[in-house]
């Protein structure tokens, strides 16, 4: 379990980066466009090997990519639109529930109850161009599908919008990847550039945060004057506001509004294994319709994410010999809340008691970035 033990320097907390995985959430497993026709596609999330596909009606399904018979990868088999057949001994499993439908080797008088055999299966939904899986446990044991929360959805504020996606792998555990999403202090150093911000543009910021279920919100505010892309929105001559939410396990969502125009984006950092994460970024907007926003966003977005990928990679040898991170003052307060939320979630999972929220009301943080 994550610990946040105080050490003796005033204003400094050390946090243990233990990379504990969080079960009981939806995670993006694939881009929708990676699944074609009846083909079976593999993915790994939270160290669970998955095989995904679509049934005859086009609905996505996700099974554990391990045959319950002799552990053969089901992804080597085929899907007939309703069942997935293992190619080793031909057992067939319902694509959505994993229930065994046929064991070809048994004779008519066999007492084997194949319907009592299950391949692991996971609730699966498509949203915003992603195939999401609900990972309640690593084996794909049945969960009450009516009792799980809805799939996360990117907020949109009009019928007519554009959407784009970016993906990158991060060679770190989920804690390093996620705290990187809420680390304002690295901006002017790692993301220095003429179009974003310079090191000299560093200035004092003050932001108000409030608790929300499973996370915290940077309350709606006018974006920082030293942040390049927001300046473009001045074109519309209306007040620009931005609001940023973080919710467990791994979701950062930003909503930018400017009159009837809007731009929203969401970043998730999902563990593939304990030491590698997949960053998924999706943005939607209804502004600058006369301008090719998508290629520009992809170009700058790739560079921006690449800068994070690079520092994370170079941080890894150090983290091996010094796994504890220092969390200082208000600049690292969000990271500390993340660890507290995570610890509270794990504790509530273990005890069944309601989850204790680290924030009991609005808090104003001040830092320079
Ligand atoms: S290993 Fe899958 S049917 Fe035997
Ligand atoms: Fe960054």
Q: Which of 119, 135, 151 is the last residue of a domain?
A: 135
Whole-number Cα distances in Å, 346 to 21, 191, 212, 352, 355? 9, 33, 18, 10, 9
Residue 65 burial by CB count (10 A; 0-12/13-18/19+): exposed, middle or buried?
A: buried
In a domain, 249, yes or no: yes
Testing ligand 1's pocket by substitution, the residue of 51, 64, 66, 67 carrying the most ligand atoms inside 8 A of its CB is: 67
Q: Residue 53: its pLDDT value, please?
A: 98
For ligand 1, residues with CB inside 6 Å are: 67, 69-70, 72, 86, 88-89, 91
Measured by CA distance, the residue closest to atom 1 of ligand 1 is 70
Question: Nearest ligand to the C-alpha of residue 100?
Answer: 1
Q: Which atom of ligand 1 is nearest to the CA of 91?
A: 3
Q: Which atom of ligand 1 is nearest to the CA of 71?
A: 1
Q: Residue 332: its pLDDT value, please?
A: 95
Q: Are residues 247 and 317 in the same domain?
A: yes
Q: Are residues 238 and 316 in the same domain?
A: yes
In a domain, 76, yes or no: yes
Digitized pLDDT (tens) for each residue of the chain, 369 residues in all: 344 444 467 777 776 657 789 999 999 999 999 999 999 999 999 999 999 999 999 999 999 999 999 999 999 999 999 999 999 999 999 999 999 999 999 999 999 999 999 999 999 999 999 999 999 999 999 999 999 999 999 999 999 999 999 999 999 999 999 999 999 999 889 988 766 666 677 889 999 999 999 999 999 998 876 666 777 777 778 889 999 999 999 999 999 999 999 999 999 999 999 999 999 999 999 988 888 889 999 999 999 999 999 999 999 999 999 988 899 999 999 999 999 999 999 999 999 999 999 999 999 999 998
In a domain, 222, yes or no: yes
In a domain, 215, yes or no: yes
Q: Residue 5: its pLDDT value, please?
A: 43
Q: Residue 4: its pLDDT value, please?
A: 44
Q: Are residues 119 and 232 in the same domain?
A: no
Q: Which atom of ligand 1 is nearest to the CA of 77?
A: 2
Question: Nearest ligand to the C-alpha of residue 74?
Answer: 1
Q: Are residues 328 and 192 in the same domain?
A: yes
Nearest Cα neighbor of 74 from 105, 46, 53 is 53
CA of 181 to the centre of ligand 2 (A): 6
The number of C-alpha atoms within 13 Å of 216 and in the hemisphere containing its C-beta is 25
In a domain, 15, yes or no: no
Q: Residue 1: its pLDDT value, please?
A: 38
In a domain, 143, yes or no: no
Other beta carbons within 10 Å of 333: 22
Q: Are residues 218 and 345 in the same domain?
A: yes
State how far Cα 105 lies from the chain centre.
42
Domain that holds residue 78: 25-135
pTM for the predicted model, two decimal places: 0.93
CATH for 73: 2.102.10.10
Q: Residue 196: its pLDDT value, please?
A: 60
> Under a CB-based contact definition with an 8 Å cutoff, are residues 15 and 336 in contact?
yes
Q: Residue 262: its pLDDT value, please?
A: 95
Q: Which atom of ligand 1 is nearest to the CA of 103?
A: 3
Q: Are residues 54 and 120 in the same domain?
A: yes
Q: Are residues 105 and 226 in the same domain?
A: no
Q: Are residues 114 and 195 in the same domain?
A: no
CA of 44 to the centre of ligand 1 (A): 20
In a domain, 14, yes or no: no
Q: Residue 224: its pLDDT value, please?
A: 73
Q: Are residues 100 and 36 in the same domain?
A: yes
Measured by CA distance, the residue closest to atom 3 of ligand 1 is 89
Number of structural domains the chain divides into: 2
CA of 186 to the centre of ligand 2 (A): 7
In a domain, 2, yes or no: no
Question: Nearest ligand to the C-alpha of residue 197?
Answer: 2
Q: Are residues 238 and 348 in the same domain?
A: yes
Q: Are residues 285 and 359 in the same domain?
A: yes
Q: What is the pLDDT of residues 74-129, one digit of tens each?
A: 999 999 999 999 999 999 999 999 999 999 999 999 999 999 999 999 999 999 99
CA of 80 to the centre of ligand 1 (A): 17
What does the block give as tokens for 81?
A: 């639109």
Whole-number Cα distances in Å, 140 to 23, 123, 165? 11, 9, 28
Q: Are residues 193 and 96 in the same domain?
A: no
CATH for 332: 3.90.380.10
């Amino acid at each position: 379990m994550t610990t946040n033990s105080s050490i003796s320097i005033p204003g400094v907390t050390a946090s243990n980066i233990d990379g504990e995985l969080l079960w009981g959430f939806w995670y993006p497993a694939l881009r929708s466009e990676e699944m074609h026709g009846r083909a079976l596609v593999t993915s790994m999330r939270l160290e669970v090997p998955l095989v995904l596909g679509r049934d005859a009606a086009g609905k996505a399904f996700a099974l554990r990519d391990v045959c319950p018979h002799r552990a053969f990868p089901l992804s080597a088999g085929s899907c007939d639109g309703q069942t997935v057949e293992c190619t080793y001994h031909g057992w067939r499993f319902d694509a959505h529930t994993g229930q065994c439908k046929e064991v070809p080797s048994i004779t008519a008088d066999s007492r084997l109850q194949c319907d009592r055999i299950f391949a692991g299966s996971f609730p699966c939904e498509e949203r915003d161009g992603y195939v999401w899986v609900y990972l309640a446990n690593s084996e794909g044991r049945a969960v009450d599908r009516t009792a799980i929360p809805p799939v996360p959805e990117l907020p949109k504020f009009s019928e007519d919008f554009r959407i784009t996606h970016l993906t990158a792998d991060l060679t770190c555990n989920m804690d390093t990847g996620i705290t990187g999403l809420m680390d304002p202090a690295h901006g002017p150093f790692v993301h220095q550039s003429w179009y974003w911000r310079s090191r000299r543009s560093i200035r004092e910021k003050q932001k108000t945060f409030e608790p929300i279920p499973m996370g915290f919100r940077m309350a709606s505010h006018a974006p920082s004057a030293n942040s390049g892309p927001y300046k473009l929105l001045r074109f519309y001559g209306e007040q620009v506001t931005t609001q940023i939410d973080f919710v467990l396990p791994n979701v950062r969502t930003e909503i930018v509004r400017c009159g009837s125009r809007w731009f929203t984006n969401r970043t998730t950092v999902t563990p593939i294994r304990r030491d590698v994460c997949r960053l998924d970024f999706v943005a939607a907007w209804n502004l600058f319709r006369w301008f090719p926003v998508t290629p520009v966003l992809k170009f700058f977005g790739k560079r921006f994410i690449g800068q994070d990928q690079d520092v994370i990679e170079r941080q890894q040898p150090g983290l091996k010999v010094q796994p504890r991170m220092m969390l200082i003052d208000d600049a690292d307060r969000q990271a500390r809340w993340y660890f507290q939320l995570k610890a509270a979630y794990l504790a509530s999972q273990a005890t069944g008691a309601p989850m204790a929220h680290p924030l009991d009301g609005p808090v104003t943080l001040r830092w320079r970035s």
